[in-house]
Amino acid sequence: MPVLGLGVWQMAAGGETEQAVEWALEAGYRHIDTASMYRNEQSVGAALRRSGLPREQVFVTTKLMPARTSAARELEKSLERLSLDYVDLYLIHWPLPLLSARLWRELESLQKRGLAREIGVSNFGRDRLETLMQGASRMPAVDQVQFSPFRYRRRLLDYCLEQGIVFEAYSPLERGQGLQDPAITAVAERLGRTPAQVMLRWAIQHQAVVIPKSSRRERIRSNAELFDFELADSDMRILDALDRTNGSARARG
């Protein structure tokens, strides 16, 4: 699973999504994250086809709306919209206490059928993960949650790492609201980096997979320039101290 991906939440179907995915693939991204709820799976699929890249070179995630009654039927619809035979990762988009256990068993069956290479969850805190596992035959491969220096969910992060669950961060740039923070801009200026690069690097150094969203070509490219520098321990502590959640497990999106 590539540590950097492009998220397409709130991107309009059609030109905006297709162009963003094309730019991301041109910039070297090999991980695209969508969902049935986003209503742009068809646009993601169109961009993937036009790229000419072999299917096995691009990691594609989509998500099940848990209010739907049949995970199999919903994944088949997503695959049709994406024009794919399988997805690399299929997630339950958010927990529903009365449905999550049954849906998880369905996802396990879909994985056995080869329709999803891996299965996981999104927006699950530790308590929801533990409840889900009571009737499951395997752990989720991934838990995708909102995570940034301002939402440093360290207890959930530590739990996932202990359990071998990949911790994936959506909204790692706090939807752009953290880019003007004085602490972040000071670190960025000293390192000659953008605030976005600093925030993304912080998450990666906490062993998170990141899926920043952008439909602007220059930002898509800039967000990918993360692997030729590191944050010092002192810089990591500066960003850690921005946390406003006190370890809260709440998340949405």
Write the class of the CATH domain 6-177+203-215.
Answer: alpha beta
| pLDDT tens sequence across 101-118 | 999 999 999 999 999 999
**Closest residue by Cα to residue 215 from 3, 12, 2:** 12
pTM above 0.85, yes or no: yes
What is the enclosing helix (H) or strand (E) of 170? strand 166-170
| pLDDT tens sequence across 149-196 | 999 999 999 999 999 999 999 999 998 888 999 999 999 999 999 999
Domain boundaries, the chain: 6-177+203-215
Catalytic residue flag (residue 86)? no
Burial 124-149, CB ≥16 within 10 A → b, else e: bbbebbebbeeebeebbbbbbbbbbb
Report d(CA 200, CA 223) in Å as an integer. 8
**Closest residue by Cα to residue 5 from 152, 216, 217, 214:** 214
Catalytic residue among 29, 38, 152, 170: 38
pLDDT band at 248 (very low <50, low <70, confident <90, very high): very low
Mean pLDDT score, 79-92? 98
**Closest residue by Cα to residue 130 from 1, 252, 249:** 249
55 has a pLDDT exceeding 80: yes
